[in-house]
Each structure stands twice: as structure tokens, then as C-alpha cells.
């Protein structure tokens, strides 16, 4: 195994942020390679033909897609465990992690990206607003999920990758769009979950950036 892992990333990427947080939770050192999201270097496409981050370089192997990287991390650095030991609970945690990715991260960061950089050619002009509106409709679902658990996390007392996935949202919401955060009176468990994420020692990794930015 390489002495130092290399993670291709940019600091506002939520999926790269998930990986940075997971590495911090595991106390695994990593060298961050910061790219410019609009001017991606050719080397990144050599490592991942889709040109997306995160990409984790492990010796001569490039691992892409955050879910794949997190599975590799759990297998190679099993302590502290970030999946439940019980198979059924582990399956439920994986389902929760997928929901966080699709319902929270994709709507929020996808909406902001379109409002900042413009919509794709085949999308409606208001696609950014539509995605952000979808985020607001997730708070009742998140509240119900947390209410069904005996503890602060999506799996109750056990902190898992499902919670790791929420960290980029928890950190960015009060910085960028405080008005989109869940109302603590209407959704107290959701607000408390986001606050608990911000209070974890790994939270700064959600927005960590490499020392130099590489551009294409």
C-alpha cells in the first residue's frame, strides 16, 4: 500500500468532501490534489475517463466514485467501523447513504451549481430553483427517519457512512444558504443532526482544499 494516498478533489465537491471526511474519521493521512472544477487537468481524465472527482490514487491504481472509495476504505482500514456489523443494519445504512446522496446532496449542490454556472442544454431554465425546492421537501422525510431511531444518527447510536454523506451539506448550508436549512421548530431532529455533524472533529475535512490548484 502506498505510504501516502493521493485524493484528486476540489474543496466544494460534496462527493469528494464525503471521502475527505471518511479519511479524517479513520485518521488516514492523504495528500489532496486540488483541481479547478471548470478547467480539469488532462491527468484527471487519464485516471477517470469521466473526468470527475473524487479519484483516490492507491499505488498504481486509481479508484473513482465516492461509494467505491468508501468501500475500499472500510475494507483496508476497518477501525473505527463506519458500517454496522449486523448485515441487515448494514443494508439499511447503505440504503440511507444512497438516500442522502440522491435526496440531499444532489438536490442541494446540483441546484447551486446550475444557479451559479447555468443549466445543461436539455434542462429547464429554472432547474436550479427546482432542485433547491426539492431539498426543502426532504426535511419531513429526514425527520421521520431520525424519529425512528434511538439516537442522534441515521442508524441511531451508530455513526455510519450515511451520516458522513450529510457532512458537506451540514457544513455548507449555514455558510451559503441559511434560509434553506430545516426550521428547528418544525424539524428539530433534522436540525440537531446537522448541528451534530458540524460538531464532529472531522467536519473541517468537508471543505478542505489542497495546497495548490491544478488546472487544465
pLDDT by residue (tens digit) across 47-99?
Answer: 999 999 999 999 989 999 999 999 999 999 999 999 999 999 999 999 999 99
Written as nine digits, the cell of 101 is: 446522496
pLDDT category of residue 4 using cuts at 50, 70 and 90: confident
- Rounded percentage of the chain residues whose pLDDT exceeds 70: 99
Written as nine digits, the cell of 71 is: 468501500
Q: 168 vs 9, 42, 140, 182, CA distance in Å?
A: 13, 27, 20, 15
Distance CA(200)–CA(193), nearest Å, equals: 11
Please report the pLDDT score of residue 171 as a whole number: 98
| Conformation bin of residue 61: beta by default, left when phi > 0, alpha when psi is -120 to 50 | beta
User: Which residue segments constitute the domains of the chain, with CATH numbers given?
Assistant: 5-80+204-214 (3.40.30.10), 87-203 (1.20.1050.10)
pLDDT by residue (tens digit) across 137-183?
Answer: 999 999 999 999 999 999 999 999 999 999 999 999 999 999 999 99
Whether 38 has a pLDDT exceeding 50, the answer reads yes
Please report the pLDDT score of residue 114 as a whole number: 92
Report the candidate in 166, 159, 155 with the shortest Cα–Cα distance to residue 101.
166
**55-58 and 61-64 strand pairing:** antiparallel
Mean pLDDT of 10-34: 97
Please report the pLDDT score of residue 180 as a whole number: 97
Distance CA(148)–CA(143), nearest Å, equals: 9
Instruction: Provide the strand spans (E) within the chain.
Output: 5-9, 30-35, 55-58, 61-64, 213-214
Mean of pLDDT over the chain: 95
Report the candidate in 13, 171, 161 with the shortest Cα–Cα distance to residue 96.
161
Q: Which helix (H) or strand (E) holds 195?
A: helix 188-199
pLDDT category of residue 3 using cuts at 50, 70 and 90: low
Amino acid at each position: 500500500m502506498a505510504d501516502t494516498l493521493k485524493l484528486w478533489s476540489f474543496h466544494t465537491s460534496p462527493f469528494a468532501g464525503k471521502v475527505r471526511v471518511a479519511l479524517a474519521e479513520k485518521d488516514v493521512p492523504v495528500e489532496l490534489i486540488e483541481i479547478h472544477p471548470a478547467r480539469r487537468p488532462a491527468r484527471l481524465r487519464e485516471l477517470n475517463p469521466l473526468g470527475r472527482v473524487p479519484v483516490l490514487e492507491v499505488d498504481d491504481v486509481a479508484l473513482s466514485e465516492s461509494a467505491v472509495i468508501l468501500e475500499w476504505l472500510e475494507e483496508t482500514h476497518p477501525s473505527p467501523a463506519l458500517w454496522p456489523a449486523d448485515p441487515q443494519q448494514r443494508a439499511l445504512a447503505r440504503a440511507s447513504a444512497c438516500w442522502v446522496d440522491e435526496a440531499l446532496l444532489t438536490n442541494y449542490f446540483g441546484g447551486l451549481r446550475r444557479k451559479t454556472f447555468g443549466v445543461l442544454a436539455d434542462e429547464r431554465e429554472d432547474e436550479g430553483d427546482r432542485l433547491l425546492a426539492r431539498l426543502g421537501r426532504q426535511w419531513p422525510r429526514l425527520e421521520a427517519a431520525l424519529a425512528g431511531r434511538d439516537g442522534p444518527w441515521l442508524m441511531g447510536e451508530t455513526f455510519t457512512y450515511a451520516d458522513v454523506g450529510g457532512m458537506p451539506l451540514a457544513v455548507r448550508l449555514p455558510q451559503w444558504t441559511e434560509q434553506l436549512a430545516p426550521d428547528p421548530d418544525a424539524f428539530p431532529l433534522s436540525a440537531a443532526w446537522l448541528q451534530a455533524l458540524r460538531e464532529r472533529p472531522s467536519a473541517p475535512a468537508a471543505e478542505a482544499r489542497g495546497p495548490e490548484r491544478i488546472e487544465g
